[in-house]
Every structure is written in structure tokens, then in C-alpha cells.
Amino acid sequence: MVANIVPKTEYQNTFLEDRPLMDVRAPVEFQKGAFPHATSLPLMMDDERAKVGTCYKQHGQQAAIELGHQLVSGKVKQQRIEAWAEYIQQNPDAYFYCFRGGLRSQVTLQWLNEASVDVPYIEGGYKAMRQFLIEMIEQASKRPMLILSGSTGCGKTEFLSHRTEAIDLEGLANHRGSSFGRNITHQPTQINFENALAVKLLKHQAKDFPFLLLEDESHLIGRSSIPRNFYLAMQQAPIIVLEDSHEQRLQRLLNEYVIDMHAGFVDHLGLESGTAAFEDYLLTSIDKIKKRLGGKSHANIVKLIINALNAQQNQNTMSEHLAWINVLLTQYYDPMYEYQLSKKANRILLKGSKKSLSEWIVKKR
């Protein structure tokens, strides 16, 4: 059997090309962390893998191999080969990998060859590719960075979406970074967040931009943690500050926190359940910052939120939500932002509108 092996020197191209990847690890391994454009098509399911692992520890490799062939045989084996073959037919340029590029890759390759299906497997497997991506983040920590700051609701994410030299960390984390920042869908695992970031950095590097444009973030974006050295580099980088009017910021947050989130919950769960989930989202989010707000301010905002929800239900209007958003901005977000920005004053290069910042960036390129 002549194996068509994808060498480690091809890892970069594999990610740059968004090549389809067939992951034959067990589902529990895939759920913990995988790569963009990877599809889980396991050689063994979780319970089968656990039994083989126990057998290996107790009786050695050969006994474990024999048990594996017993567990995945006959109809079960045929179903898995057919699933692989169908995937390869739909993605003829795909590669496949197991954890280390070892025994599971060899078995998968043998079975595919017996079925006359030709697909390369990746040298070193998931473990080596993961290490490659970790090193990519470390390398990116040494590249020039430019940090975009600005008060809550000023449109930083919108600004970044129009800049090709930008990487949207909040988009990768599936979280908007604030106490009201969670989205309807779940955040990625930490490993998947890091893998997605590394691939973005790899593609950014390939375009030879003079700097990385990133939003000013806390170490944690929701539950996603920015890798330590990358975050430390962000804390040393120069800053540009996006400014917008208070009225525009209020409207933007009304759209993000209220209109878009309510519509999303309703689309996802239906009208009744979605509305209940939306109300819970607002009240849970404000409770997260109760200590920082103080009891009196927190109680006032909760009261305003409940009034707005009642108006939304009885009068079909969203505008009442502007009252609590305004209090949240003036009593919490803005003072906190001004304090944090004052500690970074020596790093600020420019403050201005979306237009002026865009023009300045173009000149720097």
C-alpha cells in the first residue's frame, strides 16, 4: 500500500486554501477542538474508542487493534467507509487526518484503498497541525499591530468589517465583548477560537499588510481567552480612537441589544419562547454587572428594562428601550471607557470619525 502523504511543509497551503478536511478522530475529540473546514467522520465512536483504549492499557497494542477491528466490522465498517467515500466524492480535493497521523490513519487509508477511494492523509495528524497554528499565533505576536478603540456603541465592529487589514476577534469569539455581548448561538471552544484566529492570521500574513488592525479587547471575550503573548502585544500597540455622536451610539445599541437580538431569538425559538429568552437575556446581562453598577443604579436600570419590555408587548414599540440604554451608557460604559482610555493616553495616535480614520489608515498602508 503506497500512502499519499501530505507533508508538514504543506500545512500552510492547506489552511490558506481552505482545503476540506475529513477528521476521523472520535466525536468527543472533534467537539473539543477541530479546524475550520473540517468534517467529523470518525473511524470509531466515543464508546468504541474508550473500549479500545482500556484494552490497550491492559493487554497491549495488538489486543487493542484486534478489538478495534471486532467493534468496527461488518455493516458498521461498511457504513463508515461509505460515509468517507461520499465525502471524498463531494470534496475530491480533501485530505484526512487522525490525532497523530498514526494507526487510525493507516486503518482508514487501508479501508479506503480497499474501496478504491484515493485520499491523502496528513503527516503528524491533528496534533502537529494544532502545534503549527499555535506557533502561528506566537509569530503574529511579534508583528506590528494597530488597535482600534472607541466608546461602546461607536461602531468599531462595523468599521473593522470594511477594513481588509483587520481581524475581528469578537467575530471569531462569537461574542460582542460586553456584558450584553453574547449571541444566540454558542461561543466556540477555546481551541476552536485559537485555531480560527491562527488561520486568519496566516491569511493576513500572506497578504503582506503592514500591520494587524484589531479592536481593543479585554483578555476575555465572553469565555474566549485571547492567547497570552498575543494579548500582551496588543497592550503595547499604538491606538486610534473611533468617535461617534451619543445619539448614533444609542441607536446602534438599540439595534444590537434589542431589535436584532429579539428577532434572532424569535427566529431561533418561535415567538413565545423567543420573546421569553430575549427578556431573560436582557435581565441576565444587567445582573452580570450588578456589583459594578451598585444596587441602586442596578435596580433603576432593571425597572427601566421591565417598563420597556411592557411597552414592547403592549404598544409594540422598541423605543422605550432607549431609556435604560442611555442610563447604562452614561452611568457605566462611558465612565469605565474614559478611565481605561486615560491609562493608555501615551499610545493614542489619532481620534476621529470613521471617515478620518479610514483616510489615515489608507495613507499608512
Active-site residue set: 98
**Cβ density class 200-209: b for 16+ within 10 Å, e for less:** bbbebbeeeb
Q: What are phi and psi of 175, to 5 degrees?
A: -160, 140
Cα–Cα distance, 242 to 348 (Å, whole number): 11
Contact 40, 27 (CB under 8 A): yes
Pairing of β 5-6 and β 121-122: parallel
What b/e sequence results for 213-239 when a residue is b if at least 16 CB atoms lie within 10 Å of its CB, and e otherwise? bbbbbeeebbebebbeebbebbeebeb
Taking the CA of residue 192 as centre, how many other CA atoms within 13 Å lie in the half-sphere pointing to its CB? 18
